[in-house]
Amino acid sequence: MPQADEIINCEGDYVSPGLIDVHTHGGGGGSFLEPDYSQFQTALKAHLSHGTTTILPTALGRSAEEISAMAGLWRRLSKERGLPFVPGLFMEGPYTSSEQAAQGAGSGMKLKKRVMEETQWRTLWEAAQGSVIRWMAAPELPGAMEFGRFLKERGVRVCMGHSMADYDTAMEAQNNGYSCVVHLFTTMSTVTRTNGFRHGGLVEAGLLCDDLDVELICDGCHLPPELIRLAVKCKGYDRILLVSDSGPFAGTDAAGEQEMMGMKIIIEDGVAKMPDRSCFAGSIACADTLVRTCAVKTGIPLWAAVRMASKNPARYLGLQGKKGEIAVGADADLIIFDNDIHVKAVYLAGEEVRRNG
């Protein structure tokens, strides 16, 4: 049995694997939406203080130049000590579709592209220089199946989201490399009727297909407890990834009118909203809030909430055995939190890098 180098008295608090967020656009006032090194550092430090030890900065993939700049930031950040592990980047765009799917923050950022031209997405892929390990597209777009197969062959996790795909199209996508549904229930298709006949959508595909992982934004605002429980009933505790989908104001006390990438938003009631308050513009949560919401508001066991925010995303990213668990041979990314799931200490590779309070 290995001998401990140090014994830490947690004084009745919980010890957990470090949390993993595979979908976040920023935090602490810093943004992952622009290739700015200082902002990346700020956002990473903010999420670290809330227990996130592995993170995928999420950008929008709007141009080859922007993606190339993001790749350069990723290479620099991967060499820094004392920050969350960043295995790569997530591109949530630019291939979204429909008026519904491009509403909210997506509408202000002009994400919508209705055709996936191979010459264009190959250019974007080459600009990424291996930094992008996760990419989202609406599977109903022309060219989406070729995109999925191309990326899967290169080890990228391909996701469906911001989509009006019907059930059959989603299942076809699953057979062409797509393995996850981004923020289930949010900006996506559900049951529709054509000539009187009902058809399932992307929501139903995510719930029913055992081979698809699904994200849930469990910030206490995007989804009510009953939809979280429905997802758990359909998917179990092993195929759900808790994500923040947070904007730059996550982990801050910002309130009222704010600006995000030149777009006006309002922060109130624990969430970011569009100015007309018709829909949300991202969350202001960090990963500890996701665990707290599941464990306190939905009746999900605490161990299961932690699993969905640590072991599941580690498995999804191919990091099982190293991240997301407490085990001999794992990386000793650990957090300590109290009964209210407030993070008190954070460890990276067994070294304390943050103590709160």
Q: Which residues are annotated as a binding site for Zn(2+)?
A: 92, 162, 183
Extract the annotated binding site: 92, 162, 183
DSSP single-letter state for residue 100: T
Query: What is the rounded CA–CA span in Å between residue 178 and residue 149?
Result: 8
Six token digits for residue 94: 């630019």
- Residue 302: count of CB within 10 angstroms of its CB: 17
Which is the catalytic residue, given 213, 219, 245, 288?
A: 245
User: Cα angle at 354 between 250 and 54, to 5 degrees?
Assistant: 60
In angstroms, the Cα distances linking 295 to 42, 163, 300, 311, 345 are 28, 30, 5, 16, 20
| Among candidate residues 17, 25, 20, 9, the one with its CA nearest the CA of residue 61 | 25
211 is catalytic: no
**At 124, phi and psi to the nearest 5?**
-65, -40
Rounded Cα gap, residues 194 and 263, in angstroms: 36
User: What are the residue numbers of the active site?
Assistant: 245
